[in-house]
Structure 1
């Protein structure tokens, strides 16, 4: 009997991990009708989706579907190791309640030119609670006909057992002195016995919430007494970048500072922005931003369900096209993904790269990047430039897997601002 039960559990594990393989373990939207996806701690609209193992910091997922019809969406959580691969844990080991459930909270837009259905999900909730710290992937499926993913979002659950002391240092590589930022940090663990830090501890550092360019799987450089030291030279290094370009769409009743024109009709709104310039050769200029993020808000109505969508026209000025490269519009609003729908088109008549996209009322940070043909790496140097002085936010995660354990715990988390 025990062998039969063991086989069934084993088979169940692999069927759960193996189903719906047509998704990726990254932040991504899979269908074009899903817009304005936000995922953050409740009441903290631009903070990273990080919670505690007790669930005292609830996370809120919101998104719109551009339709008049309600659809049935379900969700599921997958526990991951530090490298965002599925851990060895079975669902019953990290979920208390339902491993999969429906999203039940939805509302219709109110008197908008572009109708939508707005969905919300709070985690943890009565039906689903996590019991382990670690990396998690949230998957949202459409359940109408055949089950398929529409959204995947990463988040982290922390059980803070250590203290992290970060500091910004001058890059060890002299050629990066004016353009990059380097981090060192010390992990103090007076209340936690770590027998083999070199084998049991890893760290990940994320800049401005972008896992795409995170430095992950960092082993300790050294350790002494109850301290673990990450004091590499030239390893935890990030381009400083530039302060992001702002876009204020909180009102569509009058032009704001970035709007060259505002065209309103009974059935649509079009916002034409002033032409942006290439900033690669421009000196550093300090201005406040929200580090590439965005939040949804309307100042035109008291009802947030009246937040409307506008067709926004972006224009990156350049007399000639950038040779043998594509240009993309990027920000957290599109998960920093250089997808075809965010590739800009060069217009000789407009003398620049043009893109028109529907965007919901709110405040956005954005940037432009180039990518060489047939390559995958994005380059911000030509379009934005990079300076050591730029204000950036860093998230530091400490992972712990003691000898014999089957998953990576997250025992430390620290947010660090390069200017404070």
Structure 2
């Protein structure tokens, strides 16, 4: 059953790549710990202003000092390619070899850490706002993996409010994002047609809401007061582990074992869907590489086999159970699959992680690739989540969608007014 579901999911991804051009290539097994960030300290979907720095790093556990290259492409709001030539949105050039890399030091797992920033000597900067795709290629120009990011011009202001659902059946489970777009200086012509919005929970592009149009206009403001159309499942606070000290058990690590690599066994997790909500600080699905005794975290942090164990007694039917988080860009694949162990009557997974602090949760995956976060973690209106609203505009006669506004909200300010 697992192979069937993943095969269907791969077909869906291929279909999207063919017809919508939203190309997102999952990295192969030997590429690990991709950290992609703009101004944030943690790796998450970068949203940078024109002129700000973009950083990418990743490990190749083959450790053979392979040659990798990067290229940058500009996309519309719906991730179809724009008509702009490379020189119109790029200052300098791409298709450049990544020249900066270091080999691991004093680690059991050999790996090479590749890293680069933009702007750099060859790629001096980006000249247009909007959606971008960064593609990493190997020496034969085969695509290794891709990552999406956004560049913004702050022309519009966006005020965001988080509400409880009005539907009494969902009031204890959902969080609703309402927002107002103010454009005092730029006239937004035909906003229902030309203004596009994207609403994200915890910077997860895969669950974004993208089909909202302004309900009405007051002066220079566009008002979005949706309920169910802008509702997200509240979810629950993320679980976590921290193995910055690889040789000792910690708050989350029950047992440590040394074989070819260090292996950390986590405490058994349980179904939280029927338990009362309990606040536990998290970093909303993100991760941070760190080694307590390292001077250079990038090359001295160890790779550890992390053992997950979950007791869940509900019938899965034709669904699968996976671990989920930003540690692999919110991706469901073979490495996240939880296998049933008859002897322990639990679901288990052993996955390679670079040493550090990680958030994760357990989710169910349907045959069509859709993800259900509530059945195991639960959905609670009190859960702390970050929300981001992005506003795009294409003026009449323009050839691409400009990203002109960003609004940020957090559910700690949630209300029911």
- After TM superposition, the score normalised by the length of structure 2 is 0.90
When residues 113 and 334 of structure 1 are mapped into structure 2, their CA distance, relative to the original with a 3 A threshold, is: same
DSSP-derived class of the 1:311 partner: strand
Measured against aligned partners, the alpha-carbon deviations of 1:361-389 in whole angstroms (never above 9, x if no partner) come to 111000111124x3322112221110111
8 Å contact from structure 1 (residues 26, 154) kept in 2: no
Say whether 1:33 aligns with 2:30.
yes
Q: Tell me which of 39, 51, 73 is aligned to 2:48.
A: 51
| Unmatched runs of 5 consecutive residues or more in structure 2 | 1-16
DSSP-derived class of the 2:193 partner: helix
Equivalent residue runs for 1:162-181 within 5 Å? 162-181=156-175
Q: How many angstroms does 1:402 deviate by?
A: 0.6
Q: How many angstroms does 1:281 deviate by?
A: 1.0
When residues 152 and 47 of structure 1 are mapped into structure 2, their CA distance, relative to the original with a 3 A threshold, is: closer
Q: Tell me which of 378, 383, 386 is aligned to 1:390.
A: 383
Measured against aligned partners, the alpha-carbon deviations of 1:82-104 in whole angstroms (never above 9, x if no partner) come to 11221221212111111321111
Equivalent residue runs for 1:5-404 within 5 Å? 25=22, 28-42=25-39, 44-46=41-43, 48-53=45-50, 55=51, 57-128=52-123, 129-143=125-139, 146-265=140-259, 267-304=260-297, 305-318=299-312, 322-372=316-366, 374-404=367-397
When residues 282 and 24 of structure 1 are mapped into structure 2, their CA distance, relative to the original with a 3 A threshold, is: farther
Q: For 2:319 and 2:47, how far apart are their aligned partners in 1? A: 36
Q: For 1:381 and 1:28, how far apart are their aligned partners in 2? A: 27
Other-structure match for 1:10:
none
Q: For 1:172 and 1:139, how far apart are their aligned partners in 2? A: 42
When residues 41 and 235 of structure 1 are mapped into structure 2, their CA distance, relative to the original with a 3 A threshold, is: same
8 Å contact from structure 1 (residues 24, 152) kept in 2: no
Measured against aligned partners, the alpha-carbon deviations of 1:39-80 in whole angstroms (never above 9, x if no partner) come to 112562245411111x1x211111000022111111011111
Q: For 2:226 and 2:389, how far apart are their aligned partners in 1? A: 15
Other-structure match for 1:406:
399
Q: For 1:302 and 1:150, how far apart are their aligned partners in 2? A: 30
When residues 26 and 237 of structure 1 are mapped into structure 2, their CA distance, relative to the original with a 3 A threshold, is: farther
DSSP-derived class of the 2:308 partner: strand
Q: For 1:281 and 1:26, how far apart are their aligned partners in 2? A: 38
Q: How many angstroms does 1:276 deviate by?
A: 0.6
8 Å contact from structure 1 (residues 26, 153) kept in 2: no
8 Å contact from structure 2 (residues 21, 81) kept in 1: no
DSSP-derived class of the 1:202 partner: strand
DSSP-derived class of the 1:383 partner: helix
Q: For 1:30 and 1:164, how far apart are their aligned partners in 2? A: 34
Q: For 1:299 and 1:27, how far apart are their aligned partners in 2? A: 34
Deviates more, 1:305-314 or 1:250-259: 250-259
Other-structure match for 1:12:
none
Q: For 1:81 and 1:288, how far apart are their aligned partners in 2? A: 36
- After TM superposition, the score normalised by the length of structure 1 is 0.90
Measured against aligned partners, the alpha-carbon deviations of 1:381-419 in whole angstroms (never above 9, x if no partner) come to 221110111000011101010111110000001221111
8 Å contact from structure 2 (residues 75, 130) kept in 1: yes
In angstroms, what is the RMSD of aligned CA positions?
2.0
Q: For 1:95 and 1:349, how far apart are their aligned partners in 2? A: 57
Report which structure shows greater RCO (CA 8 Å, sep ≥6): 2
DSSP-derived class of the 2:398 partner: coil
8 Å contact from structure 2 (residues 21, 79) kept in 1: no
Q: For 1:285 and 1:38, how far apart are their aligned partners in 2? A: 30
Other-structure match for 1:8:
none
Q: How many angstroms does 1:322 deviate by?
A: 3.2
Q: For 2:21 and 2:321, how far apart are their aligned partners in 1? A: 24
Q: How many angstroms does 1:319 deviate by?
A: 5.2
Q: For 2:248 and 2:25, how far apart are their aligned partners in 1? A: 33
| Unmatched runs of 5 consecutive residues or more in structure 1 | 1-19
